[in-house]
């Protein structure tokens, strides 16, 4: 069952003290390269899952502060693919792309462009007012690497499963500490409060670090409810936690009303909402 799927990214809640997954320049680039040099410019390809994946601009600097490059990002995703993909392979992805690295502004891309190869799986999302878009699905390493080459730094999954987008298999709590906080205790305690309630309900929460200061708690649920019900349930659990600790936690989304409190973001449980994937690189 799916707690097995999630084991790698999810730490036991009591053991979470650090929260960084770093891209580092490893001594060794990702394997299975063949190099073709044509004059000045070199193009490379990797063979993954039997797919040839074209790689460009490995040396382009994506992180000016550390001089980490697009190649470093690709190597990172190759390295953690086996841990990351089980969490996202049944979900559409909203892509956050930075073709010019952090010095550029970046953009979100939900609709997979026509030029994406046909071996990149997509899932069609119906839009409210008619029409649709096709979100890519990262169900294999080759797709992960292709998108990394497309300068996708951060992967934002929609948490409706692709076999039935309207009946999620998980409830999510996105715990957001105040901006620029150094404090880790409040959000940690908040996670524990939620965990205690879940336990009493015979539910189990799996905690995810996000590369920022917050956590996500993923709770496996039966697939009988639409997002509205799941969101309402998450809100009710949030209420219990907030009631007991009004000065530390809040359900107010608006920045100005949070007033230094941890925001329990139950609104992630919505059709068309995303939250950052486990193991995703963040643009910082």
Under a CB-based contact definition with an 8 Å cutoff, are residues 58 and 46 in contact?
Answer: no
Output the smallest distance, CB 115 to DNA, in A: 4
Q: Per-residue string for binding with DNA, 49-78, x by CB under 7 A? A: -------xx--x---------x--------
How much helix, strand and coil, in percent to the nearest 5, is found in the chain?
30, 30, 45
Q: How many CB atoms lie within 10 A of CB 46?
A: 22
Among 193, 275, 277, 279, binds DNA (CB under 7 A): 275
4 vs 115 by CB, closer to DNA: 115
Under a CB-based contact definition with an 8 Å cutoff, are residues 111 and 68 in contact?
Answer: no
Rounded CA-CA distance 60/41 in Å is 13
Site for Mn ion in 200-219 (CB under 5 A): 214
- Interstrand relation of 249-250 and 262-265 (parallel, antiparallel or unpaired): parallel
Q: Which two tokens stand for residue 33?
A: 């390269």
Strand, coil or helix: what is 151?
coil
Q: Determine, following the binding rule CB under 7 A, whether residue 131 of this chain makes contact with DNA.
A: yes
Q: Which two tokens stand for residue 70?
A: 């697009």
Q: Determine, following the binding rule CB under 7 A, whether residue 186 of this chain makes contact with DNA.
A: no
Q: Determine, following the binding rule CB under 7 A, whether residue 250 of this chain makes contact with DNA.
A: no
What interhelical angle do 70-88 and 141-149 show, nearest 10? 140
31 vs 104 by CB, closer to DNA: 104
Which partner, Mn ion, DNA, none, binds residue 214 by CB below 5 to 8 Å per kind?
Mn ion
Output the smallest distance, CB 133 to Mn ion, in A: 22
Q: Determine, following the binding rule CB under 7 A, whether residue 44 of this chain makes contact with DNA.
A: no
Among 67, 204, 253, 260, binds DNA (CB under 7 A): 253
Strand, coil or helix: what is 152?
strand
Q: Per-residue string for binding with Mn ion, 149-178, x by CB under 5 A? A: -------------------------x-x--
Beta bridge pairs of residue 69: 61
The residue among 210, 80, 87, 98 whose CA lies nearest residue 147 is: 98
Among 24, 183, 247, 255, binds DNA (CB under 7 A): 255
DSSP run (H or E) holding 113: none
Residue ranges in contact with DNA by CB under 7 A: 56-57, 60, 70, 94, 97, 99-100, 107-111, 113-115, 125, 127-129, 131-133, 149-151, 174, 176, 227-228, 231, 253-256, 263, 265, 267-268, 270-275
Q: Which residues bind Mn ion (CB under 5 A)?
A: 174, 176, 214, 265
């Amino acid at each position: 069952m799916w707690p097995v799927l999630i084991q790698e990214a999810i730490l036991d809640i009591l053991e979470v003290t650090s929260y960084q997954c770093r891209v580092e320049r490893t001594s060794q680039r990702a394997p299975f390269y063949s190099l073709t040099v044509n004059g000045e410019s070199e193009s490379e390809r990797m063979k993954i899952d039997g797919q040839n994946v074209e790689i460009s601009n490995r040396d382009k600097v994506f992180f000016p502060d550390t001089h980490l490059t697009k190649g470093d990002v690709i190597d990172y995703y190759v390295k953690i693919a086996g841990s990351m993909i089980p969490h996202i392979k049944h979900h559409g992805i909203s892509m956050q792309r930075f073709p010019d690295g952090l010095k550029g502004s970046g953009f979100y891309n939900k609709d997979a462009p026509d030029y994406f190869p046909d071996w990149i799986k997509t899932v069609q999302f119906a839009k409210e007012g008619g029409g649709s878009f096709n979100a890519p699905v990262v169900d294999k390493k080759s797709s992960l690497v292709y998108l990394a080459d497309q300068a996708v730094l951060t992967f934002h999954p929609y948490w409706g499963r692709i076999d039935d987008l309207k009946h999620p298999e998980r409830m999510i709590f996105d715990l957001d500490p105040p901006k620029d906080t150094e404090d880790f205790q409040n959000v940690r305690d908040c996670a524990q409060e939620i965990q205690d309630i879940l336990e009493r309900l015979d539910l189990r929460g799996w905690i995810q670090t996000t590369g920022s200061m917050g956590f996500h708690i993923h709770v496996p649920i039966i697939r009988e409810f639409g997002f509205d019900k799941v969101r309402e349930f998450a809100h009710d659990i949030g209420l219990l936690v907030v009631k007991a600790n009004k000065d530390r936690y809040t359900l107010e989304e608006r920045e100005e009303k949070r007033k230094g409190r941890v925001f329990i973001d139950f609104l992630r449980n919505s059709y068309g909402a995303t939250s950052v994937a486990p193991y995703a690189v963040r643009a910082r």
